[in-house]
Chain A
Amino acid sequence: MADLTTDFIGIRSPNPFWLASAPPTDKEYNVRRAFDAGWGGVVWKTLGAEGPPVVNVNGPRYGVIHGADRRVLGINNIELITDRPLQTNLDEIARVKRDYPDRAMIASIMVPCEEEAWKAILPRVEDTGSDGIELNFGCPHGMSERGMGSAVGQVPEYIQMVAEWCKHYTHLPVIVKLTPNITDIRKPARAAKAGGADAVSLINTINSITAVDLDDFAPEPTIDGKGSHGGYCGPAVKPIALSMVSEIARDPETRGMPISGIGGVTTWRDAAEFIALGCGNVQVCTAAMTYGFKVVQEMTAGLSRYMDEKGYASIEDFRGRAVPNVTDWQHLNLNYVTKARIDQDACIKCGRCYAACEDTSHQAVAMSADRTFTVVDEECVACNLCVDVCPVEDCITMERLEAGTTDPRTGRIVQAEPADWTTHPNNPGSPNYVPAGQDTMVSEPAE
Chain B
Amino acid sequence: MTEAMRLDGIRAGRLGPDDLARNFGDLHPGLDAHEATVAADRCYFCHDAPCIAACPTDIDIPLFIRQIQTGQPEAAAKTIFDQNIMGGMCARVCPVETLCQEACVREAAEGKPVEIGRLQRYATDAMMAAGEHPYARAPDTGRRVAVVGAGPAGLACAHRLAMHGHAVTVYDAQPKPGGLNEYGIAAYKTPDGFAQAEVDWLLKIGGIAIENDKAIGKGLSLSALRSDFDAVFLAVGLGGVGALGLDGEDAAGVENAVDFIAALRQHDDLTTLPIGRHVVVIGGGMTAVDAAVQAKLLGAEVVTIAYRRTRDRMPASRWEQDLAASHGVRLAFGLVPHALHARGGKLREVELAYVNPDMTPTGETVRVRADQLFRAIGQKLEAVEGLDLAGGKIAVTGAGRTSLDDVWAGGDCAAGGEDLTVTAVAEGRDAAEDIHGSLSS
Contacts and interface: CB of A to CB of B under 8 A. Distances in A.
B1 interface: no
Contacts of A68: 38, 41
B105 interface: yes
Interface in A135-154: none
With most chain B CB atoms within 10 A of its CB, the pick from A348, A355, A367, A371 is A348
A391 B47 CA distance: 13
A112 interface: no
Contacts of B41: 68-69
Contacts of B37: 69
A350 B38 contact: no
Contacts of A124: none
A349 B38 contact: no
A392 interface: yes
A330 to B, nearest CB: 36
B45 A352 contact: yes
Contact of A349 (B34, B45, B108): B108
Contact of A352 (B34, B44, B106, B108): B44
B47 A392 contact: no
Contact of B109 (A69, A354, A355, A392): A392
A351 interface: yes
Nearest to A395: B109
Interface string A316-349: 0000000000000000000000000000000011
B366 interface: no
B38 A355 contact: no
Given A352-B45, A391-B44, A371 B50 contact: yes
B104 to A, nearest CB: 9
Main secondary structure on chain B at its contact with chain A?
Answer: helix
B7 interface: no
Interface string A352-377: 10110000000000010001000000
A219 B106 CA distance: 37
B48 interface: yes
A151 to B, nearest CB: 38
Of residues A350, A355, A392, which shows the largest number of chain B Cβ atoms within 10 Å of its Cβ? A350
A145 B45 CA distance: 45
A435 to B, nearest CB: 44
A352 B38 contact: no
A312 to B, nearest CB: 35
Interface in B23-54: 34, 37-38, 41, 44-50
A351 B48 contact: yes
Nearest to A373: B47
Contacts of B109: 348, 391-392
B47 A355 contact: yes
Contacts of B38: 68-69
Contacts of A70: 34
A390 B49 CA distance: 15
Nearest to A359: B47
Contacts of B45: 352
Contact of A348 (B34, B47, B108): B108
Interface in B351-377: none
Nearest to A67: B41
A368 to B, nearest CB: 12
Contacts of A355: 47
Contacts of A367: 47-48
A352 B47 CA distance: 6
Most chain A beta-carbon neighbours within 10 Å: one of B34, B47, B50: B47
A394 to B, nearest CB: 13
Interface string A182-197: 0000000000000000
Interface centre among B34, B50, B109 (most CB of A within 10 A): B109
Contacts of B48: 351, 367, 371
Nearest to B44: A350
A48 B37 CA distance: 43
Contacts of B106: 348
B14 to A, nearest CB: 43
A351 B62 CA distance: 13
Contacts of A371: 48, 50
Contacts of A69: 37-38, 41
A27 B106 CA distance: 48
A352 B109 CA distance: 14
Nearest to B108: A348
9 contacts: A70-B34, A348-B108, A348-B109, A349-B46, A350-B44, A350-B105, A351-B49, A355-B47, A371-B48
Interface of B: 34, 37-38, 41, 44-50, 105-106, 108-109
Given A351-B47, A352-B46, A371-B50, 18 more contacts: A68-B41, A69-B38, A69-B41, A70-B34, A348-B105, A349-B46, A349-B50, A349-B108, A350-B46, A350-B105, A351-B46, A351-B48, A351-B49, A352-B45, A352-B47, A354-B47, A371-B48, A391-B44
